[in-house]
Amino acid sequence: MKKKHLLAIAFFVCFTVSAASAQKKFVHPGILFNTADLERIALNAQRPSSPGYGSYKLLSDHPLASSGYKMNGPFRVISRDGEYGNTKSRMEADFSAAYLNMVMWAATHNKAHAERALSILEAYADSLKSIPATNDAPLLVGLEGLKIVNVLELLKYSYKSDSKSKLDKITAMVKNIFLPVAETFYRTPAYTNGNWGPIVTKFYISAAIYLSDGKMYNKAVDFYLHAKDNGTIANYIDGESGQIQESGRDQGHCQLGIGAMATVCEIAWKQGDDLYAALQNRLLKGFEYVANYNLGNNVPFRTWKDITGKYSDWNEISTIGRGRFIPIYQMVYNHYVGRKGMSMPFSKQVIDKMGPEGYDRDQPGFGALLYLGSK
């Protein structure tokens, strides 16, 4: 892979939006997977002896990955909360099914999976009218939008669907219904815990790549590095200990947040930009802190004033969710250890403890299949 551009070594180094970067030449496919990844995924799925085969079996056996998946929707309005909150779990399953079917196509080249992913998203494009401006709207577009845009990227650039009119409809749904929610989040002064920022950003940077929009891409990167928000690499992870801004809240949200950050970094890596290295590899430090504590060990903790001032009263690390791991570790381990030759001993223990990574509603999941060996 071409030499990576180190965007930030210290927080005070500004990411400059130049004319050249605004006209960035994008790699396609290049969101969660590039062409080399897709070739490796297909190869691993054919080899029971490959390290990724266990994750492949978890994928192929999952009901949401079936080309015969029966939709819950589509719905005219979707929401995680409020009046239409009853659509939450049902629409999440539908969008996950589209994503998992597209990954199954990558693994097997069975057209039925790609066509099922396309038909799910087309149905929503034909029906969906709005995402209400409820509290959780940014989380919805961040979590579900990434799935949608990744499917679009693969349909257009890898599967090479000849259904241009269908892809155009789905693209219009992303641009007209999903992206405005993300733009509103970026414009609003910080008000959330830190997992929200990278969740929105992993969708936004993905949409930028799919749309080949350099200004959007720069905006996403600039947010990750420099925004006055809890969800930046500088504000979410302590530079000395690796403590997470939400460590006093619970361990599930800590993993949700660092998992989203890893996804942002992996996506940027596919485009030749090394966000993983920002602030002396601070993301590595955050992963090791979370892994260490959740393995049952003691870690340092301090109370700090967060950006909003609303989440500054946690005076001890939370035991809520301690020891319950989610499939986020293989991706980041592959980068820092596999690509860079660095050390992540606690994350390695988590990977060994978990076994093959499988499905997670809010993360790419299936790490050994999708990311182990990715260059």
User: HSE-up of 162 (CA within 13 Å, CB side)?
Assistant: 1
Considering the domain boundaries, does residue 123 fall inside one? no
Residue 124 resides in a domain: no
pLDDT of 335 over the 70 cut: yes
Residue 133 lies in a domain: no
Its domain, for residue 322, covers 1-61+238-375
Mean pLDDT to the nearest integer, 286-307: 98
Inform me whether the pLDDT recorded for 14 exceeds 80: no
Q: Please tell me the pTM assigned to this model.
A: 0.96
Averaged pLDDT for residues 281-293: 99
Looking at the predicted structure, is the pLDDT value of residue 372 above 90? yes
Tally of structural domains, the chain = 1
Q: What's the chain's average pLDDT?
A: 95
The pLDDT of residue 9 is above 90: no
**Residue 355 pLDDT > 60, yes or no?**
yes
- pLDDT in the model for residue 4: 58
* 247 part of a folded domain: yes
The reply to whether 77 falls in a domain is no
The arithmetic mean of pLDDT across residues 77-83, rounded, is 99
Alpha-helix runs per DSSP H in the chain: 19-22, 35-45, 53-60, 88-108, 111-127, 137-157, 164-173, 179-187, 196-210, 214-226, 233-236, 251-270, 278-294, 329-333, 345-354, 367-370
pLDDT at position 299 over 90: yes
Asked, for residue 249, whether it belongs to a domain, the answer is yes
* Whole-number percent of the chain with pLDDT over 90: 92
Average pLDDT of span 216-234? 99
Average pLDDT over residues 38-64: 98
- In a domain, residue 22? The reply is yes
